[in-house]
Structure 1
């Protein structure tokens, strides 16, 4: 079986949507991928997007093979289905955040919405996202297949060791709270900083480590201003992008993982943290309760004081911490990339 794999920008960085696709497709047997991508020509924000909208459609049109299944791997590439006639089409739609959360009126996202409606099948990542697609795109839910993201248990497993924290100047006696993700408004990083400031008054020897790129214009500058106003410059560390191997080490080194996002199509980091034996506090919104079940503490992501209180409780109550670790390890085992690959192959065969 050969698939026209319409994957957008060619990149070696693995996170979010690219992680989902790479983990599934490296586990598919007897499936050949005709990769249709465009080169990374610039690190300047926006340049690659211009290439995506103006040049990439011509690359796709030239490289697709008539009788192949066409798999568009991201929702923000769905506009391609409007610009050209493609048969036997599947689109993986992780979320429709610009439409459902940010209420965008962007012409590009109107095109993406039209493109999603043209797909013969949509793969999405959660029951929550399936309902959102049905609601906002008006796409028939019977043609939406849920295939969850998962955890690579050969990489993310319990192997506790604090050594990697020395790289970030963190001492052995300091408690460490970790957040992994971007810094766009829905990720709620400002909230984390405010809650951390409250916690710091009760546990002086605590650090907040933030892994991931900003990925949203202007937000990092505002976060730095907020950190300076709270006098937390020495206590909050921005690690930037790290490799998967380093990320697994970081999960295993920290005391608590927090993920108070306002809106997620799924949210892989809480599962990865659980698989490494790290307790998780997350939001009680969007798909996150579906992801973590009863293995994490779920909180209103607008309640700064409550979030700080729960962080304090996990960091000081050993019995609670051990119970959360046990439940988290069990929960993470429910999600495997092998199962996700089998479900993807089933969709291909049915198509």
Structure 2
């Protein structure tokens, strides 16, 4: 069986991290089962992350995600038995069996996601159609599975929970390497870290309000670093730092960071703060835990499921709750050590190798059930 995998988003932050982590073991384990794979995307970009790819393993496809060209003119690959899309962007005119990965239901639950009622209806239609027509739906958490089935009850028998994991780069690095990264980025310790884009459900305005309030109470408090931003996020966040009088205390990073640089940034941080109002998984939690950085985490969405007992939780609507946990983790060394230890242990529950094996099992079961014709 030949499987086509849409890998166009391999350089994106969230979905790109998933593709970069999952594809190497997936291709290896799939080949052991006799599967052939063809990756859809830009050949040069794909070979940058998967250097062993042969030319025939890539089908050049540069159509922008959600573009008219993508939706109406998918690649013609007559020898492909099954397609796998890692976003709810399955082409409308694809008439072949497919698997879709849905990372979260933010487009359906976040009021501020859509630009208009028409946009909201279009997103709901796309997701509803793809859940209905897919041979299998992959989600990263039990929370997302429950949310999906609540909205689309007919999907119950074909939803599979396959968690994300962390890349090998997220491990303890040398102090020399840490200093190099901090110097290049212009960051001084101590600092709190948040790794996020700026969208309403990421709750960064709340974080800046809480940080402003906490900073006024501290004589020599830490600064705040927000990394992982997009260039278009900077304008609004800069206005918020002015509004809350923390311009000199907040460093906004909107440049691409290699995973090894990001690992150093996590490692040097006093804590990682995850203030989200909703998450379908929450990779930064595991990335921070992997290098031994304590996590202060919202209790919303999938985050308690992912962070386990390796984090301190707070109500993402209460600045006082976040400040209280921040004071505790900075003051109580025993508590900090316990959270660090439990965090490292928690990460071991997640593995790209295991996730790839579970996904191959989904492919095998589809083939054996004859829901996919070879």
Do they fold alike, i.e. is TM over 0.5?
Answer: yes
3-state SS in 2 of match to 1:234 = helix
Counterpart in the other structure of 1:262: 277
3-state SS in 1 of match to 2:40 = strand
- Is the 1:158–1:252 Cα contact (8 Å) retained in structure 2? yes
Tell me the TM-score normalised to structure 2 length: 0.82
- Is the 2:138–2:159 Cα contact (8 Å) retained in structure 1? yes
Counterpart in the other structure of 2:241: 227
Q: 1:34 aligns with which of 13, 35, 38?
A: 38
Q: 2:296 aligns with which of 278, 281, 286?
A: 281
Q: Measure how far apart 1:23 and its partner are.
A: 1.2
Q: Measure how far apart 1:226 and its partner are.
A: 1.8
- Is the 1:72–1:91 Cα contact (8 Å) retained in structure 2? yes
Q: Measure how far apart 1:66 and its partner are.
A: 4.5
Counterpart in the other structure of 1:167: 184
**How do 1:189-338 and structure 2 match up within 5 A?**
189-203=204-218, 204-214=220-230, 220-240=234-254, 241-338=256-353
**How do 1:64-103 and structure 2 match up within 5 A?**
64-75=77-88, 77-78=89-90, 80=91, 82-87=92-97, 89-102=98-111
- Matches of 1:246 and 1:130, distance apart in 2: 33
Counterpart in the other structure of 1:43: none
3-state SS in 1 of match to 2:138 = strand
- Matches of 1:52 and 1:170, distance apart in 2: 37
- Matches of 1:176 and 1:49, distance apart in 2: 40
* Number of equivalenced pairs: 332
Q: Measure how far apart 1:211 and its partner are.
A: 0.7
Q: Measure how far apart 1:132 and its partner are.
A: 1.2
- Is the 2:85–2:99 Cα contact (8 Å) retained in structure 1? yes
Q: Which sections of structure 2, spanning at least 5 residues, go unmatched?
A: 45-61, 367-374
Q: Which sections of structure 1, spanning at least 5 residues, go unmatched?
A: 41-47
Counterpart in the other structure of 2:365: 350
- Matches of 1:59 and 1:35, distance apart in 2: 17
- Matches of 1:70 and 1:168, distance apart in 2: 40
- Matches of 1:39 and 1:228, distance apart in 2: 43
Tell me the TM-score normalised to structure 1 length: 0.87
Counterpart in the other structure of 1:5: 5
Counterpart in the other structure of 1:21: 19
Q: Measure how far apart 1:144 and its partner are.
A: 0.4
- Matches of 2:41 and 2:186, distance apart in 1: 39
In the alignment, does 2:65 pair up with 1:56?
A: no
- With over 3 angstroms needed to count, the CA separation of the structure-2 counterparts of 1:39 and 1:133, relative to structure 1, is farther
Q: Measure how far apart 1:38 and its partner are.
A: 6.8
- Matches of 2:65 and 2:280, distance apart in 1: 26
Q: Measure how far apart 1:51 and its partner are.
A: 6.9
Counterpart in the other structure of 1:150: 165
Q: Measure how far apart 1:165 and its partner are.
A: 2.1
- Is the 1:74–1:93 Cα contact (8 Å) retained in structure 2? yes
Q: Measure how far apart 1:287 and its partner are.
A: 0.5
Higher mean displacement: 64-73 or 322-331:
64-73
- With over 3 angstroms needed to count, the CA separation of the structure-2 counterparts of 1:119 and 1:96, relative to structure 1, is same
- Matches of 2:65 and 2:108, distance apart in 1: 23
In the alignment, does 2:181 pair up with 1:183?
A: no
Counterpart in the other structure of 1:44: none
Q: Measure how far apart 1:156 and its partner are.
A: 1.3
